[in-house]
Amino acid sequence: MNLQIRYASMVIALIVIIVIALSGTLFFQFKDLTEELGEVSAAKMKAALNQQMVNKGKMVAATNGDSLTNALYQFDMDRMQNQLISIKVREDVIYTYIFDDQGKILHDGSNAISHFGQQLDTFLDVRLDLRQREVYEQIIREQLVVVKPILIDDEILGGLVIGFSLHAINQDILTTQQEIGAISDRHITFTAYAALLTTLVLVCFGIALAYPVTRSMVLPIRKLVQLVQEIGKGKYDAKLEIAREDEIGQLAKAFNHMTDSLQRSNQRILHIAYHDDLTQLPNRRLFMDYLGRVLSLAKRTKKIFAVLFIDLDDFKRVNDTLGHDVGDELLKEASFRIVGSLRAEDIAGITAEIGQNLNVSRLGGDEFTIILPNIKSPLDASIVAKRIIGNLAEPFFLKQRDVTIGTSIGITVFPDDGTDAKSMLKNADIAMYQAKENGKNQYQFFTQKMNDNALAKLAIESSLRKALKKNELTLHYQPKIKLPENLIVGAEALIRWHHPENGWISPASFIPIAEETGLILAIGEWVIEQACRDLKALKIQGLADIGIAINVSSQQIHQQEVDTIVALNLELHELDAPQLEIEITETALLEDDSNTRDLLQKLRDRGMKVWLDDFGTGYSSLSHLRQFSVSGVKIDRSFISDVHTNENDEKLVSAIISMADSLSIPVIAEGIENPQHLEVLVKNRCHLAQGYYFSPPVPLQDFMELLKSSASAAFVRH
Ligand code: C2E
Ligand code: MG
Ligand code: MG
């Protein structure tokens, strides 16, 4: 039962009860009153008639009594009889007697006077007062008995008794009473009907009144329920329009107040949910939503538009070297410059149609996106990209210093580079990566080939994840040879992946992907564990007096406790620190000084050797080598391949060796492929060598054989 019906029923029930109680009370009061009135008027009428009768009887008795004085005095029986006969003529007279001063019957009007001499009061059962001088009366049953004492000069001679019948009067009274009763009954019936009718009218009126009353009470509540349901569905602008000053009006005001604050906090939540906290630009969610809308509009209007994926170059360096506060400032300033790089004509058109200007978003970190909905050709997008790169190239003045930063931008154009929001963004991202690979601080349009490469990378990434679990990875070992004795003094552990379908996959193709995806952390940990296991195997074979070097990526340095992992594994396999060596690339060393310096120091403190890999490719200086206190350098293969023919290369190699000598650290030449290479290096007094000329990287078992065979004699591979 709903609220209105319940209220209406209650109101109606209340009205019915009140009306019935009222009219019932009035009716019964009226009935009682009418009955009492009938009784009182009957009694009054009866008393009046009786009194009338008494007066009349007394008068009759008095006049006749007076006329009988002489007859009684003279004892004239005839006159007495005549007199009595004249009295008896009256219809209402039942009997009449004359009595003497003793109360004995003298005459009864008959000839025989059969009751002569009888004591009148005993005979008639009436009260006689023989001393009474006035007429007196008594009513016995349906009779009025009037006694008239007859006197002569105060001497009582006797008296006259007349018995009047009251039957006629009583009959009259009864009839009148009945008539009054009938009248009051008619009145009562009429009143009952009137009460019933009034009740009915009032009930109908109550029903008619209950509906609007309850409706006016229930309607706002019903509206309220409806609005609350709408709020439940997320419509916070719902308002209760009730202009009343009563409790319902106050409720409406309170409700509207509540929806206002709900709406405000909802807007705030929406803003937080859809905007980036730092720059207040739309975030990824809002960008995707907006991109979807721009896309469907472009589909309908058959227009082209572009998505620009912007990434600041080496932003991490700013964060790491100048701190996150400066990084945040830079991002804010960069966001202003990006927004400022857009001209009204770049974003007009579609913005007006969609009603919002959400063209610049921050996806997270140092990644921004731009939607250019109003381009005529892809060239327009490149103009904007150039402008952004130019604006961001201006130095940022942060913390009292100028900071410069490059920008890489990837561009996709609808519909050629994607027909849905996800692929437009993904392809712009791929193009941005390509811009970075091409040397950063430039823009790059997306091409299908990039997509193929990206897909191939994705495929490698997913199977690499499985490879770790399925034991598809192994370590191969390439000996490090001491020159000029040609003795194996160590080895480099190089990772190998045997894919069940694609066979051997080179680390050169999967390590960069592992680094991009962060998988390198898990792989790096596995390499440390595996190298320690293998070292343990070598130790068991009595071949452990050599150093095994593992390659460590820069990501591991920044994101992993490499020294702790190494220490744990050494302890687990009961190995000594100097048996495990580390190779880090020169470029990793240059990326970030503090972290790398700390790690190198920790490793050196444990007694481990740290080699600087691919030396010569990163332009690090002598001072760098001193600063980082590395154990040795490995000359990159690219300087060795032509060393026997290219004079400059030889000079460079020679310079590196002298530089290392000056620091008293050893040098390894990588990529010795032939005796000519070896000859030049020996000539330049290179300390160590590594290359296919001696041995390619081989499985542990083969490496053990190599060690065994070179244990007694110098290692020579011909
Ligand atoms: P790298 O550390 O500079 O390793 C030397 C690379 O040169 C190895 O390539 C090795 O097989 C190759 N090499 C050795 N001698 C010769 C030669 O005479 N001629 C030629 N052409 N190449 C030679 P590989 O094994 O393909 O590894 C490539 C790179 O992958 C490594 O360069 C290293 O940067 C990385 N890498 C390999 N294993 C790991 C690992 O376990 N962890 C990490 N983070 N990186 C690894
Ligand atoms: Mg290496
Ligand atoms: Mg190398």
Distance, in Å, from the CA atom of 182 to the CA atom of 636, rounded to the nearest integer, reads: 138
Q: Cα–Cα distance between 218 and 230 in angstroms, integer?
A: 18
- Say what percent of the chain tops pLDDT 70: 96
The CATH number given to whatever domain includes residue 486 is 3.20.20.450
CA distances in angstroms from 475 to 15, 567, 711, listed in the order given = 97, 20, 22
Pairing mode, if any, of strands 667-669 and 688-689? parallel
Q: Which residues surround ligand 2, an ion (CB under 5 A)?
A: 551, 583, 613
Residue 58 lies in a domain: no
Rank 30-34, 527-531, 627-631 by mean pLDDT and report only the highest.
Answer: 527-531
Give yes or no for residue 474 having a pLDDT over 50.
Answer: yes
Q: Which atom of ligand 1 has the smallest separation from the CA of 553?
A: 44
Task: Give me 241's structure tokens.
Answer: 């329009």
- If asked whether residues 73 and 116 sit together in one domain, one would say yes
| Residue of 526, 528, 551, 610 to test ligand 1 pocket, by largest number of atoms within 8 Å of CB | 551
Helix (H) or strand (E) holding 90: none
Cβ neighbours around 114 below 10 Å, total: 9
Extended beta strands in 455-573, E state: 473-482, 487-499, 503-505, 547-551
Q: Which one of 122, 141, 165 terminates a domain?
A: 165
Which residue's CA is minimally distant from atom 5 of ligand 1? 670
Q: Are residues 161 and 177 in the same domain?
A: no
The conformation of residue 15, written as its DSSP 8-state character, comes to H
- Residue ranges around ligand 1 (CB below 6 Å): 478, 494-495, 506-508, 511, 527, 550-553, 583, 613-614, 637, 670-673, 690-692, 697
Q: Do 159 and 197 share a domain, yes or no?
A: no
Domain count, the chain: 4
What is the position in ligand 1's atom list of the atom closest to the CA of 583?
A: 2
Q: What is the CATH number of the domain that holds 385?
A: 3.30.70.270
> Which positions ≥6 away from 136 have C-beta within 8 Å?
129, 146, 147
- Rounded distance between C-alpha atoms, residue 408 and residue 311, angstroms: 5
174 pLDDT higher than 70: yes
Confidence of residue 716 (pLDDT cuts 50, 70, 90): very low
Atom 42 (ligand 1) nearest CA = 551
- Which bound ligand lies closest to the C-alpha atom of 514? 1
**Atom from ligand 1 closest to the CA of residue 527:** 41
* Residues 158 and 178 placed together within one structural domain of the fold: no
- Which ligand minimizes its atom distance to the CA of 552? 1
Q: Whose CA is nearest to atom 11 of ligand 1?
A: 697
**Centroid of ligand 3 to alpha carbon of 546 (angstroms):** 19
Residue 614 Cα to ligand 2 midpoint, Å, equals 7
Report which bound ligand comes closest to the CA of 586. 3
**Going by C-beta distance under 8 Å and a sequence separation of 6 or more, which residues neighbour residue 85?**
109
Domain's final residue, options 107, 131, 165: 165
Q: Which domain holds residue 111?
A: 69-165
Question: 128-142, 336-350, 626-640: lowest mean pLDDT where?
Answer: 336-350
pLDDT at 355 over 60: no
Distance CA 595, CA 559 (A): 10
Residue 6, beta-bridge partner list: none
Q: Which ligand is nearest to the CA of 692?
A: 1
pLDDT at 350: 52
Question: Mean pLDDT, to the nearest integer, of 287-302?
Answer: 92
* Nearest to 478, CA basis, from 686, 680, 688: 688
The preferred substitution site among 511, 559, 610, 641 for testing ligand 1, maximizing ligand atoms within 8 Å of CB, is 511
Q: Give the distance (Å) from ligand 1 centre to CA of residue 698.
A: 12
85 and 136 share one domain: yes
Backbone phi, then psi, for 312, in 5-degree steps? -75, 135
Average pLDDT rounded to a whole number, residues 69-74 = 89
Nearby residues of 496 by Cβ (< 8 Å), 6 or more positions away? 473, 474, 475, 476, 504, 507, 697
Q: Is residue 97 assigned to a domain? A: yes
* 519 within a domain of the structure (yes/no): yes
What is the best residue among 475, 476, 492, 494 to mutate for testing ligand 1's pocket, by most ligand atoms within 8 Å of CB?
494
Same domain, 433 and 330: yes
Residue 214 lies in a domain: yes
Alpha-carbon span 384 to 352, nearest angstrom: 20
Same domain assignment for residues 685 and 569: yes
pLDDT-derived band at 1 (thresholds 50, 70, 90) equals low
Q: Is 0.85 topped by the overall pTM? A: no
Which residue lies with its CA nearest to atom 24 of ligand 1?
A: 507
Ligand 1 centroid–CA 450 distance in Å is 26
> pLDDT for 440-473, tens place per residue?
999 999 998 888 888 888 888 899 999 988 999 9
DSSP per position, 288-347: HHHHHHHHHHHHHHT--EEEEEEEETTHHHHHHHH-HHHHHHHHHHHHHHHHHH--HHHH
If pLDDT is split at 50, 70 and 90, which confidence band does 347 have?
Answer: low
- ∠ CA 455-459-463, rounded to 5°: 170
The mean pLDDT value for 521-534 works out to 96
- Ligand 1 atom closest to residue 514's alpha carbon, by position in its atom list: 44
The residue whose CA is least distant from atom 10 of ligand 1 is 697
Model confidence pLDDT, tens digit, residues 416-435: 999 999 999 999 999 999 99
Assess if residue 461 is contained within a domain: no
Q: Which atom of ligand 1 is nearest to the CA of 585?
A: 34
Whether 619 and 475 share a structural domain: yes
Please report which ligand is nearest the Cα atom of 634: 3
339 and 374 share one domain? yes
Q: Which of 446, 481, 505 is where one domain is finished?
A: 446
Higher pLDDT, 346 or 546: 546
The 3-state DSSP class for residue 110 equals coil
What is the Å distance from ligand 3's center to 688 Cα? 14
Q: Ligand 3 centroid vs 707 CA: distance in angstroms?
A: 22
- Strand-pairing partners, residue 613, are 585
Question: Does residue 458 lie in a domain region?
Answer: no
CATH number for the domain spanning 148: value is 3.30.450.20
State pLDDT tens for residues 559-612: 889 999 999 999 999 998 888 999 998 877 776 667 788 888 888 888 899 999
Same domain, 250 and 371: no
Distance from the CA of 494 to the center of ligand 1, in angstroms?
A: 6
Whether residue 650 is contained in a domain is answered as: yes
User: Which protein residue has the closest C-alpha to ligand 1 atom 21?
Assistant: 671
Do both 619 and 483 map to the same domain?
Answer: yes
What integer is the mean pLDDT of 123-151?
89
Q: Which two tokens stand for residue 675?
A: 């005796």
Three-state DSSP state, 246: coil
Q: Give yes or no: residues 482 and 551 share one domain.
A: yes
| Structural domain contains residue 453 | no
Binned at pLDDT 50, 70 and 90, residue 348 comes out as low
Contact 285, 273 (CB under 8 A): yes
Q: Taking 70 as the threshold, does the pLDDT of residue 656 lie above it?
A: yes
